[in-house]
Amino acid sequence: MSKTLPVAADIPVLHRFLSYLTAYKFFFAIAIIGMIGYSAIDAFVIAQLQPLIDESLGQGDFEFLRIAAYLIIPMFILRGIFNFMGTYTLDWISSKVVMNMRQSLFQHYINLPVSFHDQHSTGLLISKLTFDTEQVAQAAGKALLTLVREGALVVGLLCVMFYYSWQLSSIFLLIAPVVAIVVSVVSKRFRIVSKRIQDAMGNLTTAVEQVVKGHKVVLMFGGAELESNRFYHKNNENRHQILKLCIARILSVSTIQIIASIALAVVLFIASVPGLVENLTPGIFTQVVVCMTMLLKPLKQITTVNNDFQRGMAACHSIFTVLDEPIEPNTGLMKIARTSGKIEFNQVTFAYPTKETNALTNVSFTVEPGQTVALVGRSGSGKSTISSLLTRFYQPQQGQVLLEDHDLNDIELTSLRSQFALVSQHVTLFNDTIANNIAYGTQGDIDFNAVLNAANIAHVTEFVNELDEGFDTIVGENGLMLSGGQRQRIAIARAILQNAPILILDEATSALDTESERLIQDALHQLQAQCTSIVVAHRLSTIESADLILVIDQGRIVEQGSHQELLEKSGIYAQLHTMQFSE
């Protein structure tokens, strides 16, 4: 990803960010009225210095003071109302905008192809959903509030100054371009450094995620010091970037205040020359000087909040980059209620996006309805790739994968994947109850009797009965509270409950002990009798009864046949069989 944000992208990013606000035009109008009203009252109160000094105190007209005493409390009550209108409404808008942006990003994550997730770390994606969106919240809330409210105060104070003495105030016409140049230069610097901070935060999140997930490995292999040092360098890099942002902010604020002080010095000098400014009274002089002094604070706040705004724009660019990633293609229009289970691979060649060599080369085979086909071979030979192509997690570069003589690309994705039940060696469980994990993805109300039946077949009930909360037991993150075998039994129960016409077993019994494997194999045989099965197996004893065994080597089918036929060929399968059973 780019380390800097192109200047040309600034305006489109800003326009796209503002498009999130268009749904709340009415509330935004209320916020603008509140912020401008708040600053207008401040400017009006300050504008009363000249009549207070020249007329009330200078000429003894105390009626002005009496009127001011009556009005000051109602005015500050009105000021408080305007403040609430501006601040709360804008905070409400910013929270809605960020919620919508997070929801869009989350939904986009779900719909992105598997290849995208393979190439991006989980920690970086989580950082975009949490840290980057918080930066957008700052831009949509605090930054806009300060820019509008303090900007309105600056305009109000300048109007007051020019109203009372355009000669003294015109000095600001000279320094305004200089201030604009400083803000422009600093804004670009803020944006670049903010992008680097977001990248650094993504790296930090990734580092923490890897260590937390691999905590046991870190402890067992003595990697604590290594990981601590690695995290220190990433943490320190984040600190350096934050300090660079701090330096840019301090220098910009100081520069603008120095420029404003020069303007104030020039005003004082002009006022010191008798006759240079006509009709200069003590009230007018005090009014202009106080306004110029009051300008320092909003100018400082505008410059400081520019940091938050630019960080928000950099975060928007980061988020929009992901939102612009094409989602998983779903061009198929055909919907299948329930397939008979016929599968065909026709000269399929496939290579993973980041690999130069093919994972599969010219693979062809046919699976008839109700058949059990086993895929065997060494690790990395391409067995699991076949199941990934079947479920269209990936698409082949050449050839066709057919279901019921229809190209998979012609079938609507949800309809296609509902035809498959997948049990992988890498079981994914959610931090929910055992019952809900078994019933995951079930449409409508959960039938507990169906869940219980699936659990009985998969021998889940055996260990659930020993738990205090039974099927209502929370399994922890990814089933942390359960053993590997227990997790795999739940995954098998989930597949049984799904009752799909095609079953894919990818090393489904790899985490089970011998006794549990025998029980599960009995359950799977019952299930396989009712559907077409694709079995990826390492232990050949589990697939001896398969109708067809395909031996995969370096992405090609080198042998195929039944168990007995392959043994008689004395080829690769026979060698693997002899090796396993001799062990």
- Among 474, 499, 524, the domain-final residue is 499
In a domain, 211, yes or no: yes
Does one domain contain both 228 and 264? yes
Does one domain contain both 480 and 454? yes
In 10 A of CB 162, how many CB atoms? 17
- pLDDT of 398 reads 92
- pLDDT of 256 reads 73
DSSP 208-223: HHHHHHTHHHHHHTT-
Alpha helices in 214-365 (DSSP H): 215-220, 224-272, 282-323
Domain coverage including residue 287 = 7-323
In a domain, 190, yes or no: yes
Does one domain contain both 431 and 567? no
In a domain, 309, yes or no: yes
Q: What is the pLDDT of residues 147-159, one digit of tens each?
A: 788 888 888 888 8
What pTM did the predictor assign? 0.73
- Rounded CA gap, 191 and 111, in Å? 29
- Rounded CA gap, 30 and 358, in Å? 60
Mean pLDDT throughout 128-132?
84
- Among 499, 523, 552, the domain-final residue is 499
In a domain, 516, yes or no: no
CB 532 within 8 A of CB 343: yes
Does one domain contain both 286 and 297? yes
Mean pLDDT throughout 549-567?
89
Does one domain contain both 269 and 305? yes
Does one domain contain both 280 and 159? yes
In a domain, 521, yes or no: no
- Longest distance between any two alpha carbons in the chain, whole Å: 121
- pLDDT of 347 reads 93
The domain that contains 244 carries what CATH number? 1.20.1560.10
Q: Which two tokens stand for residue 458?
A: 């998969």
Does one domain contain both 476 and 545? no
The domain that contains 376 carries what CATH number? 3.40.50.300
Q: Which two tokens stand for residue 290?
A: 């106080």
- For the ranges 32-36, 93-97, 303-307, the lowest mean pLDDT is seen at 303-307
- Rounded CA gap, 72 and 66, in Å? 10
Of 119-128, 308-317, 430-439, the range with the highest mean pLDDT is 430-439
Does one domain contain both 269 and 409? no
- Is pLDDT of 569 > 80? yes
Does one domain contain both 285 and 430? no
Q: What percent of the chain is predicted at pLDDT more than 70?
A: 89
- Rounded CA gap, 394 and 402, in Å? 14
- The tally of domains found in the chain comes to 3
Mean pLDDT throughout 249-277?
72
DSSP 6-30: -GGGHHHHHHHHHHTTGGGHHHHHH
Mean pLDDT throughout 519-542?
77
CB < 8 Å & 24+ apart, contacts of 8-14: 9/317, 10/191, 10/313, 13/313, 13/316, 13/317, 13/320, 14/313
Mean pLDDT throughout 433-460?
83
- Is pLDDT of 345 > 90? yes
In a domain, 525, yes or no: no
- pLDDT of 9 reads 43
Does one domain contain both 373 and 454? no
Does one domain contain both 19 and 167? yes
Residue closest to 555 by CA, chosen among 423, 384, 330: 384
Mean pLDDT (the chain, rounded)? 81
In a domain, 518, yes or no: no
The one-letter amino acid code at 422 reads: L
Q: Is 16 exposed, middle or buried (0-12, 13-18, 19+ CB in 10 A)?
A: middle
Mean pLDDT throughout 330-341?
86
- Among 274, 289, 323, the domain-final residue is 323
pLDDT tier, 443 (very low <50, low <70, confident <90, very high otherwise): low
In a domain, 550, yes or no: yes
- pLDDT of 512 reads 65
In 10 A of CB 261, how many CB atoms? 13
Does one domain contain both 291 and 241? yes
Q: What is the pLDDT of residues 20-71, one digit of tens each?
A: 878 888 888 898 899 889 888 888 888 887 777 777 766 666 777 778 788 8
Q: Sheet holding 343-350: strands in order across?
A: 360-367, 343-350, 398-403, 406-407
Residue closest to 459 by CA, chosen among 506, 499, 424, 493: 493
Helix (H) or strand (E) holding 449: helix 448-457
Residue closest to 473 by CA, chosen among 441, 438, 511, 445: 438
pLDDT tier, 8 (very low <50, low <70, confident <90, very high otherwise): very low
Q: What is the pLDDT of residues 376-427, one digit of tens each?
A: 888 888 888 888 899 898 889 999 999 988 999 999 988 898 898 888 878 8
CB 411 within 8 A of CB 336: yes
